[in-house]
Amino acid sequence: MQISDFDYDLPEQLIAQFPPQTRGASRLLHVAGAALDDRVFTELPALLQAGDVLVFNDTKVIKARLFGEKVSGGKIEALIERVLGEHQALAHIKASKAPKPGNLLHFQGGFIAEMSERQGDLFKLDFSAAHPDLTVLDILEQSGLLPLPPYITHVPDEEDAKRYQTVYARDPGAVAAPTAGLHFTDDLLEQLRVMGVKTCFLTLHVGAGTFMPVRVDNIAEHVMHHERYRIPADTQAAIREAKAQGRRVIAVGTTSLRALEASSQTGLLAEPEGDTNIFIKPGYQFKVVDRLITNFHLPKSTLLMLVAAFAGFGTMRAAYAHAVAQQYRFFSYGDSMLLEPEQGA
């Protein structure tokens, strides 16, 4: 398939620049096979049933964007892609000239990192010499900015610090939110538990690569970025039991889905922890996930390809055309879909 197959026209005013006034006050497009049903997110319990297993990504967004300058005085911007340990991180760097190994980078707040080596498009930063008593996460919390996606144009503020984070976020390391989870409130989670829906968690630290464009015409030639995931033992047990009993496993977000599917390439949850660059596109055979809750994704993106793989290419096109016509809000702060593939599809 060609990248042009995954393009669509989106009026700029449908790109959500801010979250809804209250968490969960968003719309939900229920896509059941070819049937499209306009709902609101608070109606989700009516679309689930006792015994369903909802799998959430509990990663926490870090303040991953740093600004500063090189010793030469040239301005730099660093976006942390992955925290490697207490004092090291991999980062994307914007600068007039790329720093070389051994160069010192001075960030706002008086923090200094050495660029120790280049790894492809990424730069390894080491804060240990200048700040042995501070971790990378400490430094980011003190000096970093929340890394809102590039299509959100305002400077992040205190409201973003609360709303660009799920209510169940607990494991810091992501540079983008698992946005399908932003719709859930504590009250809704409790309502689901009371009705017998099992809620469980995994961790996949979302990298900045999730926003990287596909630069090839033939999507089969695209190489995905790597992300780290971990599926705890209690989540593994809940999923294994559900699959054995014929109950539904529902991924909350594409990141949860990617972790579950990546872990099951050689058997159900056979690799519950590791790095993945799994690329899910039309033709992929799903091994774990039966339903998917997800937001609306960018044109020509790998996430849109994942949705097409899950729901069917034609269904994806119809659902997105419907959402545009009905003026749904798109992307991270936007509305959501519940995808139910046709039986036997």
Q: Categorize the per-residue pLDDT at 323 as very low, low, confident or very high, splitting at 50, 70 and 90.
A: very high
For residue 20, is it within any domain?
A: yes
Interval 246-297: pLDDT, tens: 999 999 999 999 999 999 999 999 999 999 999 999 999 999 999 999 999 9
For residue 261, is it within any domain?
A: yes
**220 or 86: which leads in pLDDT:** 86
What per-residue confidence (pLDDT) applies to 145? 95
CATH of the domain at 131: 2.40.10
What per-residue confidence (pLDDT) applies to 1? 87
| Mean residue pLDDT across the chain | 95
Domain limit, last residue, from 89, 111, 143: 143
Tell me the pairing of strands 53-57 and 88-95. Answer: unpaired
Least confident of 216-220, 236-240, 261-265, 270-274: 216-220
Domain limit, last residue, from 119, 143, 167: 143
Q: What are phi and psi of 14, to 5 degrees?
A: -90, -5
For residue 287, is it within any domain?
A: yes
How much is the average pLDDT of 204-215?
81
CATH of the domain at 314: 3.40.1780.10
What per-residue confidence (pLDDT) applies to 345? 43
Do 27 and 88 belong to one domain?
A: no
How much is the average pLDDT of 103-117?
96
Q: Supply the range of the domain harboring residue 86.
A: 65-143
CB 63 within 8 A of CB 136: no
**Structural domain count of the chain:** 2
How much is the average pLDDT of 307-326?
97
Name the DSSP class of 332. Answer: T
Do 45 and 169 belong to one domain?
A: yes
For residue 150, is it within any domain?
A: no
What per-residue confidence (pLDDT) applies to 77? 96
Alpha carbon distances (Å) from 104 to 90, 124, 158, 221: 15, 12, 31, 36
Separation CA 115–CA 177 (nearest Å): 27
Residue 344 scores a pLDDT above 50: no
Beta bridge partners of 114: 104, 126
Residue 331, token pair as written in the block: 């992307």
What per-residue confidence (pLDDT) applies to 25? 96
For residue 75, is it within any domain?
A: yes
How much is the average pLDDT of 167-180?
96
For residue 25, is it within any domain?
A: yes
Separation CA 177–CA 163 (nearest Å): 10
Do 226 and 334 belong to one domain?
A: yes
**Could you give the 3-state DSSP secondary structure of residue 157?**
coil
What per-residue confidence (pLDDT) applies to 343? 57
Interval 28-86: pLDDT, tens: 999 999 999 999 999 999 999 999 999 999 999 999 999 999 988 899 999 999 999 99
Residue carrying the six token digits 């399908």: 180
Name the DSSP class of 213. Answer: P
CB 247 within 8 A of CB 190: no
What per-residue confidence (pLDDT) applies to 222? 86
Do 91 and 132 belong to one domain?
A: yes
Q: Categorize the per-residue pLDDT at 325 as very low, low, confident or very high, splitting at 50, 70 and 90.
A: very high
For residue 9, is it within any domain?
A: yes
Task: Please tell me whether the overall predicted TM-score, pTM, comes out greater than 0.85 for this model.
Answer: yes
